Structure 1
Amino acid sequence: MGTVKSVLADDVQQVTGSALQGALVDLIDLSLTGKQAHWNVTGRTFKQVHEHLDELIAETRESSDSVAERAVMIGLNPDGRVETVARSTSLPALEPGYLPEDKVIAAITQQLAAVIGRMRVRIAETEPDPVTQDLLIGITAGLEKQHWMFSVQQ
């Protein structure tokens, strides 16, 4: 099997690849955190929060696939293996067991804010590759919408 040759200059490819890999880890971990919360949320607004978490999970999974495919397009191999995500993530883990809705909403809001902050840095870093930058801008817009929708529930 051959390898994909990037159309980007080597230095741009490396910076862009690093940004994509970081985004991939954040998105995978955010989707896993969302799923953990989805299974364990409790409270009066359980159904609403449970279904909203489903939306977040679907969005982050789709976005992680787009990020990974973009990495391959520029000639790099994405690494979404569990050990890589566990080693590389900077998102705090949720507490084990059942979680009251207010704790879930607060935790997801905080995690979204952290990921959005890192995505904005990646957007700036990928200026030399406007295609990747555009992808990251679109993903960040979706995350910001999710952040807004979770934060108003607090």
Structure 2
Amino acid sequence: MGVSLKGIKDNARKASVEELNARLADGIALALAIKQAHWNVKGPNFIAVHELFDQIRARVDLQNDTMAERVQQLDGVAIGTADEIAKASSLPAYPTDLTKSADHLREIAGLLRAHGEKIRNAIDVTDDAGDADTADIFTGVSRDLDKDLWFVESHLE
């Protein structure tokens, strides 16, 4: 197995690109679900929840951008078109008939939890493959997702 121009073994690079694109698909699907919730939320604490969804969406967008740019750094191709995301995301589809604040909060919490679990697995996959830098990116994403999950679940207490 050769070493790429980036000093990472080819098998590590391939494993990282695959894992990054898989988590990018989920991240984009999550971002779209959060925007769906943001547009349609109603009820108690409307403005707080509405603004929270915007803040989380902004963080998820940055995470997605970081993952896509890492794919490029590893000489891969970041996959982010709507049709490819619809096929590739492992997250459950977001319901489009919700309006109540608590319903949106529960759904978004479930998606954050599911995405976080897959991100934590990606840390191990990329670290085991020999790409500590990509594992570090996933670690940062995991920390942010855990914090956002805490924010969302706090509204459900």
With structure 2 as the length reference, what TM-score do the two structures score?
A: 0.92
Post-superposition Cα deviations, 1:65-121, rounded to whole Å, max 9, x if no partner, equal 110000100110110011110001122223224510000000000000000000010
2: distance between equivalents of 1:98 and 1:50?
A: 14
Partner of 1:56: 56
Moved segments of 4+, more than 4 Å: none
Contact 1:71 1:78 in 2 (8 A): yes
1:150 aligned partner, one-letter code? V
Indicate conservation of the 8 Å contact 1:42/1:98, yes or no.
no
Aligned-residue sequence identity (percent) comes to 29
Residue 75 of structure 2 aligns to a residue in which SS? coil
Q: Secondary structure at the match of 1:126?
A: helix
CA distance in 1, matches of 2:14, 2:30: 24
Q: Equivalent residue for 1:84?
A: 84
1:48 CA displacement:
0.7
- How big is the shift at 1:44? 1.4
The letter of the residue matching 1:53 is: F
Equivalent position amino acid for 1:84 in 2: E
Q: How does 1:4-153 map to 2 (within 5 A)?
A: 5-127=5-127, 128-153=130-155
Give the residue type in structure 1 aligned to 2:54.
Answer: D
Answer yes or no: is the 8 Å Cα contact 1:31–1:60 preserved in 2. yes
Q: Runs of 5+ in structure 2 lacking a partner?
A: none
Give the partner amino acid of 2:131. D
Equivalent position SS for 2:94: coil
How many angstroms apart in 1 are the aligned matches of 2:110 and 2:97? 19
- What secondary structure, in the 3-state scheme, does the structure 1 residue paired with 2:146 have? helix
Mapped to 1, the partners of 2:5 and 2:71 lie a distance apart of 11
**What TM-score, normalized by structure 1, do the two folds share?**
0.93
Paired residue secondary structure (2:27): helix
